[in-house]
Amino acid sequence: MKKLSLFLGCIIPNRYPGIEKATYLCLEKLGIDCSDLPGASCCPAPGVFRSFDKSTWLALASRNIVLSEELERDVLTICNGCYGSLIDANNELKENAALKKSTNTHLEKIGKKYNGSADVRHIVELLYDEFGPEKIKEMVTTPLNLRVALHYGCHLVKPSKERQLGSVERPMFFDELVESTGAESVDYPDKMACCGAGGGVRSALLEKSLEMANHKFSRIQDAGVDCIVNACPFCHLQLDGGQAEVKEKFGLEYNIPVLHYTQLLGLAFGFSPEELGIDLNVIKNDEFLAKLKELAEN
């Protein structure tokens, strides 16, 4: 595996730093050589910037990739949005010489040049590819006896032509990684449905976006789970903070804890909920925290 640099994006460092911390702890435990990526910016967010102006999207995305090229490292993302934005931009620039040339005329002005020498990875596909569920399972010290509602998030697997991660209607790889922690990935209707945050919908049409999230919450509640697991801070924000907004706007209360996969894995590696920032979520569920404590003690 090539050395990596960690691309943080916006929401993780600036809203859910627990996920950042959990990522550092897991990477260290796994012995993955991953450096910081100093000076990185917004990926930029695919839903809005990509649809506003292609040259701006490519310029900003390529600058982030170039920072990693300069370190001779591949880019590691921990967000479906950053992954989608950076991998799509990277592929377009690698394949299209004219686009590469025009993007480089912008980068020239800040003394940078895009070469196309770095790849973009997402932590979930990376762990599946480079380690595999079996190897992860062997490293687990605190098996998690939890029922999990897994939310893949759209841009991890779609568009499938670009991602090449197998079935988009019923993928399994992420479930296997969840189960390698000892948890059970519970099937539920509309599991692959969108959380409703993407495409600039959450920012511009909050209520409509929450109706989509609420649909997921109701399905997940019916399935009877301990927590939701995702691999994207924007889904995380929508699923965690969104529950408080759904309560306020529609008067519906779910109180389902939400974990990024790195936080789930961190628990299975023996780190405490506080070390992983799980207690910093909007949703505070004491029953869940007590259960985690019990699991850690056994």
Partner 1 sequence: MHIKNKINNPLVKTMSEPDVLKTLQDASLDVLTCMQCGTCSGSCPSGRYTSLNTRRIIRKARKNSDMLHDDDLWMCATCYNCQERCPRGIKIVDAILMIRTIAVHEGIMLPAHRKISELVLKHGHAVPINDATKEKRKDLGLEELPETVHKYPEALADVKKLLESCGFDKLVVKKQE
Give the footprint of partner 1 on this chain (CB under 8 A): 8, 10-11, 13-15, 17-18, 20-21, 36-42, 44-56, 59-60, 63, 106-107, 109-110, 112, 154-155, 158-160, 168-169, 193-194, 196-201, 203-205, 208-209, 211-212, 215, 275, 277, 280
What are 62's two structure tokens? 């390529």
Query: 């790849």: which residue's tokens?
Result: 119
- Cα separation of 64 and 9, whole Å? 10
Whole-angstrom distance, CA of residue 161 vs CA of residue 166: 10
Whose Cβ is closer to partner 1: residue 168's or residue 295's? 168
Residue in 180, 72, 71 with CA at minimum distance from that of residue 124? 180
Closer to partner 1 at the Cβ: 100 or 158? 158
Shortest approach of partner 1 to residue 132 CB, angstroms?
Answer: 26
Q: How far is the CB of 180 from partner 1 (least distance, A)?
A: 25
Give the residue with the Cβ less far from partner 1, 183 or 194.
Answer: 194
For partner 1, the closer CB: 122 or 155: 155
Minimum Å gap between C-beta 184 and partner 1 is: 26
- Give CB contacts under 8 A, 24+ apart, made by 188-192: 188/149, 188/219, 188/220, 188/222, 188/223, 188/225, 189/219, 189/222, 190/215, 190/216, 190/219, 191/149, 191/150, 191/151, 191/152, 191/219, 192/152, 192/168
Helix (H) or strand (E) holding 49: none
Q: Which is nearer to partner 1, 29 or 54 (CB)?
A: 54
User: CB 286 → partner 1: shortest distance, Å?
Assistant: 19
Q: Which is nearer to partner 1, 54 or 137 (CB)?
A: 54
CA distances to 2, 105, 160, 197, 289 from 283, rounded to whole Å, are 37, 46, 33, 18, 11
Closest contact distance (angstroms) between CB of 93 and partner 1 is: 15
State in angstroms the smallest separation of the CB of 187 from partner 1: 18
